Amino acid sequence: MADAPPPQPKPGAIPRPAGRLLRPGGLLRSGEWALLGAILAAVALATLVDSNHSYWFRPLESLRDIARNTALLGIFALGAAVVIIAGGIDLAAGSMIALSGTVCATTMLALAPEAMTAFRPVGPVVVAAGCAASLLTGFLVGTLHAWLITAVRLPPFIATLATLVGLRSLARALCENATAAFTPTKSALINVADPLFKAIRDNVWIPVAVFAVLAVVTWMLLTRTVLGRHVHALGGNEQAARLAGIRTDAVKWFAYCFGAMTAALAGLFYVANESVAAPVNQGRGHELNAIAAAVVGGCSLTGGVGTIPGTVLGAIFLRVVIDAVSKVIKTGADVYEGLIVGIVVVFAVTFAQVGQLASGGRRLLPGALGVCAIPTLATFTGAVVAMMSGRLAGAAAGIMALLLLSGLRVWESRSARAVARSAP
Amino acid sequence: MTAVAPASPDCSAIVMRGITKRFPGVVALDGVSLEVKPGECHAICGENGAGKSTLMKILSGVDRPDAGTIEVHGSPVAFAGTGDAERAGVAIIHQELALVEDLPVAANVFLGRELRTRLGLLDDRRMEAECHRLLRSLECDIDPRARTGSLRIGDQQLVEIAKALALEASIVVMDEPTSALTEAESARLERTIAGLRARGTTIVYISHKMDEVFRLADRITVLRDGRHVATVHRSDTDQRQVTAWMVGRDLADGELAGGRTPGARVLEIRGLTLPWPDHPRGHRIADVSLDLHAGEIVGIAGLMGAGRTELLETIFGAAEPNWTGEIRLDGRPVRFAHPAEARAAGIALVAEDRKRLGLFADLDVAANVSLCALGDARRAGLLSRSREDALVAGPIRDTGVKAPGPRAAITGLSGGNQQKCIIGRWLLTRPRILLLDDPTRGIDVGAKAELHRLIDRLCRQGMAVLLTSSELPELLTLADRIIVLAEGRRTAEFSRAEATEQQIMEAATGYAPT
C-alpha cells in the first residue's frame, strides 16, 4: 500500500520528468540555482559592506584568492561527494592530504637528498616520481578503507576515523625518519623548493584548471557511466543493489580510492602552495570542510543523493563566504573559518527544508526547547558579532536576534492555535 | 491506558464526514464519509491509492485533514498527533512496520508508555511479563527480550499488533495486519479479533483479502480513487461485487495454469542445507531437493520462517556461502558466490521485501528498470538517455507498468507498478529461471491479477519459475506443482490436481514425511 495515492497516469499523458538522478535540460537544479544566487549575493553584500570595497577595486586579486582556496578544497570535496553519494563517509581526507604531501617530499628527498636540502631544483623526473608515489599512496589508503569496510565489515565512520588519526601520525613518523636518514637533523617538516612546485604556487590557474577538469570528469563519471549509476544505486539501497547483481564491494573500493586519491592530489597542491610538507598541521580538519561542501551542495549523508555541480557550488560558496567575512572584518579568516563553515552548513540545510517546515506545520521553536533556544541563539549571535565588530554591535545584534526569535515564536504559536481552531 | 467506554451505547463509535486530504499533485481523499457503529467490525476495502490508509492516518492522528469533521464516541475531535488519538481510545496497527529494530520486543510494545517502578526506573520485568501475556493472547511464543530487528517480518507484525493491544483502546484500526502473516498466524489474529470484539472493542479492518473481509466484517465500506463507493452489510453483498466496486470493473481471475507443457529440466537441487549457527534449530533449510523445468511454475509453500526466502537466496548466491548440497543448472553443478554470477547464468530473483530489497527510491523509473542491463544503454561507452529510454520501453510495455513516463519518480507509482518495474528489470537480463519471492505481497487485487497473468505468460514463453507466496490461493492459481516447507525441511509435494489448501496447511505445520 502506498502512503499517498499515486497520481493516476492518463493515457497519452506527456512524460513528466520527476527523476531526481538526472533531469533533462539544464546543468543545475533548483537548489543549485539558489546556491548560485547565494554566492552572487554574498559577493555583492561583501562588496558593499567592506569598507575597502576590495572586491570592487581589486577584483582580480580577490578572485585569485578565492579561486585558489576553492580549487584546493574542491579537488578533494569531489572525492568526499563520491564517497557520500555511494552511502559512505571518508573522515580521513585531511590526514591523507598530510600523508600525500609527506610521501611526495620524502620520495624526492630520498631520490635527490643534496638538491632537496640545498633548495636546488630536483628535476622533473624526481618530481614526477614524488607525485606518482603520492597518488599511489592514495590508492593504497583507499584500498585499505575499502578492505576495512567490506571485508572486516567496520562501519565507514569507524574505519576512516581510525585512519584519520593513524595516517597523520604515520605521516609524521615517515617525515621524521626520512629527515633523520637523509638530512643532518630530524625534522617534522620537509621544505620543497623545486621550481615546478613554485610555478604551481605562483600560477593559481593550474590548481583551478585541475579542479575544473576533475569536476567535469567526475560529473561525467557519475551521470553518464555504468559505474556512476552503480554508485548512486549503492548509496540509495545497498541490499537491493547487491541483489540486482551489482558488485557492491567493488563499487565501494572505487569510491574510497577516488576519495583518497583526490585527497592525495590535493595534498600535492597544499605542498606547492606552502612550499613545505608539514605532516603535523597540513590539511588538519579539512575533511570536514570537504564534507560540508558536499552537504551544502545537496549531497545527502544517507547516500544516493547528490550532484557534482552542487558540490562545486558548495565549495565555491563556502570559500566565498569565508573570504567575504574576512574582507569585512579585516582579520585573518582562519580564526573564524570553522565558525563560518558551521553556520553555512546549518543555514544551507535548513534552507533546503524551508518548504517542508512551512507546509508540514512543523515549528522551528517548539515547546520548552524552543524557549531555551531563543536566548541560546541570541547570546551566540551577540558574542560572535561582538568579537568581530565590537561590543556595541554585539549587544545590538544579540538584542535584535532575541526580538526576532521571540517574534517568530509568538507567530508560530499563534498560527498553530489558528490551525487547531480551524479544525473542528 | 484503560479502555475508553462509549459515551452512550447508541452514538456511533466513529463518524467521519466530508474528509478531504490533498497531497502535492493529488487529491487523496475527496469528501469521504464513514460511520462505524460501536462494537462492530467494519472493513474498508479499496485498491492501492484508493485512500484507505490516508483515511486511517487521519483517524489516528498521523495526518490532518484539509476539510471535514471527525467524531469519536459522539464528541468532535481534532487530533494533532497519535498521542491525542490514543488518549481518545483509538489505536492503529500500521501496515508499514513502525518498530525500533534495535530495542527488545517488550520495549517496543511499551514505547512511549514505559512502565516504571516506584523509583521512576524502567520496570523491565513487568513490561516483559505484560508483553509475554499479550503475545500469548496472539498464540505466538516470541521472546519479549529478543531484539526486534532479529525477528522475521511476520513476527514483527505480531509485535506491532501486540503494541496496539497493549493500549486497550476502544477502537482498534488494523491496516492490512495480515500482509506479512502466514495463514496460520492470520487465523490466530482472527481469534484475537473475536476476543476483542467480545469485550466490545470496535474494529476498523483494512484488507485486500476478500476471504478475511467476508469472514470478519459486519459491514464493508469500499473506497475508490479517494471517493466513497459503497457501504453495505456483509450479508447484502458478495466478494465478486466488492471486488468489482474496488476496481470499477468486473474481474475474471480463473485458473491460469492449465495447458502448460514443461520442457527440459533446468534446475536440480539435491540435499540443500543452509546452517544457522547460534540457533536452536541449527539450520535455515535442511536437505531440500527439488527439480524445476522450463515452462513450469513450481510453488513453494510454507509458514514464515519455513525457509522459502533462504532457499531462493541460496540458489541465487545471495545467502551465506556455507551451504552444503548440490545445485545443478542444466546438469552442471553451480555454486554462485555473488548474485552477479547467478545473473550471468540466467537466473533472476525478485526479492521478498520490495521497498527494502528491490527499489531504488532515489532513482527514476527508467534507472530502476535498466539497472541490470546498463551495458546496453551505452553509446560510445557512456550512458545515453535516449538509449536507456528505448531499452526500458520494452519491459515497461511488456509488464504493463502504468507510469507518467520513464523519468517519473518510482516512489510515485503504486506497489503493483513498482513490482512490475522490478520484474521488468530482470526481464532485461533475459533470465531462464525466474525466482519470485512473494511477488504480490501488499499489492491490490487488480494489480495482483495482472501480475498473475504476467507470470503465466512468462512461463508459457519457456521461463522456469520458482514462486513463493504467503497466500495459498495464489500458489493454487499459478503453480503446476507445489512443494511445502516446514521449519526448513521439505514435507510434501503436490501436483496441481491433487493440492488443496487443507493438505498444504497440514504439511506446512506438521512434519509428515513425503
A138-141 contacts at long range (C-beta below 8 A, 24 or more positions apart): A138/A96, A138/A100, A138/A257, A138/A260, A138/A261, A138/A262, A138/A263, A138/A264, A138/A265, A139/A257, A139/A260, A139/A261, A141/A92, A141/A96, A141/A99, A141/A167, A141/A260, A141/A264
Count the domains in chain A: 2
Closest A-chain CA to B70 = A424
User: How much is the pLDDT for B49?
Assistant: 66
A20 contact residues in B (CB cutoff 8 A): 362-364, 409
User: Looking at the structure, do residues A140 and A68 belong to the same domain, yes or no?
Assistant: yes
Neighbours of B330 (CB within 10 A): 14
| pLDDT (tens digit per residue) in B256-304 | 667 788 899 999 999 999 998 877 678 899 999 999 999 999 999 987 6
CA torsion sign, B151 to B157 to B160 to B161? negative
Q: Mean per-residue pLDDT for A5-21?
A: 39
Residue whose C-alpha cell reads 545467502 in the numeric block: B319
Q: Does B226 touch chain A (CB under 8 A)?
A: yes
Give pLDDT, residue A127.
Answer: 95
Residue A362 touches partner B, C-beta closer than 8 Å: no
Q: What is the pLDDT of residues A394-416, one digit of tens each?
A: 999 999 999 999 999 999 888 87
Write down which residue in A352, A386, A407 finishes a domain. Answer: A352
A352, A387, A406 — which closes off a domain? A352
- Confirm or reject contact between A369 and chain B (CB < 8 A): no
Q: Kindly compute the dihedral angle of the four CA atoms of residues B501, B507, B508, B514, in this order, to the nearest 10 degrees.
A: -130
A325, with CB counted inside 10 A (0-12, 13-18, 19+), is: buried
Is A3 inside any structural domain? Answer: no
Per the domain annotation, does A30 fall within a domain?
A: no
CA distance B416 to B402: 9
Residue of B78, B367, B403 with shortest CB distance to A423: B78
Domain presence at residue A35: no
Q: Which of B28, B357, B442 sits opposite A239 (nearest CB)?
A: B357
Mean pLDDT of A295-322: 93
What secondary structure does DSSP assign to B82-93, as a single string?
A: HHHHHHTTEEEE
- The whole-angstrom separation of Cα A87 and Cα A255 is 10
Q: What is the pLDDT of residue A333?
A: 62
Q: What would the mean pLDDT of A156-172 be, rounded to a whole number?
A: 96
Total-model pTM: 0.79
- Clarify whether residues A126 and A202 are in a common domain: yes
Decide if A5 touches B, using CB distance below 8 A: yes
- Per mean pLDDT, which range of A18-32, A356-370, B422-436 is the poorest? A18-32
Q: Check pLDDT > 90 for residue B152.
A: no
* B185-200: pLDDT as tens digits: 788 888 888 888 888 8
Mutual angle of helices A124-146 and A195-202, in 10-degree steps: 70
Shared domain check, A319 and A377 = no
pLDDT cut 70: percent of chain B above it: 92
Residue A305 domain-assigned (yes or no): yes
Which of A4, A22, A243 is nearest residue B28 as measured by Cβ atoms? Answer: A4
Give the separation between CA A392 and CA A404, rounded to whole angstroms: 18
Q: Choosing among B60, B363, B428, which should be mutated to test the A contact, i.e. which has the most A CBs within 10 A?
A: B363
Q: pLDDT tens digit string along B440-452?
A: 877 777 788 889 9
* A423 contacts B407? CB cut-off 8 A: no
Confidence at B309, pLDDT banded by 50, 70, 90: very high
Per-residue model confidence (pLDDT) at position B6: 45
The pLDDT of residue A332 is above 70 = no
Ranking A208-222, B84-98, B212-226 by mean pLDDT, the lowest is: B84-98
pLDDT in tens, A339-359: 888 988 888 888 777 666 666
Q: What domain range includes position A375?
A: 362-422
| Domain boundary, last residue among A352, A375, A397 | A352
d(CA B256, CA A5): 30
Same domain membership, residue A412 and residue A321 = no
The answer to whether residues A416 and A383 belong to one domain is yes
Pick from A51-65, A164-178, A299-313, A377-391: least confident: A51-65
For residues A381 and A293, membership in a common domain is answered with: no
Same domain, A234 and A93: yes
What is the predicted pLDDT for the residue at A422? 62
Q: And the C-alpha cell for B474?
A: 495464489
Instruction: Tell whether B362 lies on the interface with A, counting CB pairs under 8 A.
Output: yes
Residue A107 within any structural domain of the chain: yes
Asked whether residue A31 is assigned to any structural domain, the reply reads no
Same domain, A388 and A344: no
Whether residue B14 is predicted with pLDDT greater than 70 in this model: the reply is yes
Q: What sign for the dihedral angle of Cα B203, B97, B350, B386?
A: positive
Q: Model confidence at B455, in pLDDT bands (50, 70, 90)?
A: very high
State the nearest Cα–Cα gap between A183 and chain B, in angstroms: 50
Scan residues 316-345 of A and list those with Cβ closer than 8 Å to B: none
**Three-state DSSP class for residue A187:** coil
* Measured distance CA(A294)–CA(A308) in Å, rounded: 8
Residue A368 covered by a domain: yes
Closest by CA to B349, choosing from A346, A202, A244, A27, is A244
Least confident range of A208-222, B111-125, B306-320:
B111-125
Which ipTM did the prediction report? Answer: 0.80
**Percent of chain A having pLDDT more than 90?**
66
Q: What is the pLDDT of residue B186?
A: 81
A361 and chain B in contact, CB less than 8 A:
yes
CATH number, domain of A89, equals: 1.10.3470
> Across-strand partners of B228?
B223
- Rounded CA separation B389/A419 (Å): 45
Q: For B26-77, where are the alpha helices, taking DSSP H only?
A: 52-59
Q: Identify the pLDDT of residue A230.
A: 95
Q: Which domains does chain B have, with CATH numbers?
A: 14-247 (3.40.50.300), 252-346+431-514 (3.40.50.300), 361-421 (no CATH)
Asked, for residue A66, whether it belongs to a domain, the answer is yes
CA–CA separation, B142 and A408 (whole Å): 49
3-class DSSP assignment, residue A18: coil
Q: Measured between beta carbons, which residues in chain A are less than 8 angstroms from residue B225?
A: 5, 8
Instruction: Assess B339–A contact: CB distance below 8 Å, yes or no.
Output: yes
Taking only the tens place, the pLDDT of each residue in B83-108 is: 888 888 888 888 767 788 888 999 98
Statement to judge: residues A187 and A140 lie in one domain: yes
Q: Domain check: are A76 and A210 in the same one? A: yes
Same domain, A322 and A402: no
User: Is residue A262 domain-shared with residue A373, that is, in the same domain?
Assistant: no
Residue B208 has pLDDT above 90, yes or no: no
Mean pLDDT, chain B, whole residue set: 86
Quote the minimal CA–CA distance from B387 to chain A in Å. Answer: 12
Q: How far is CA A153 from the centre of its chain?
A: 26
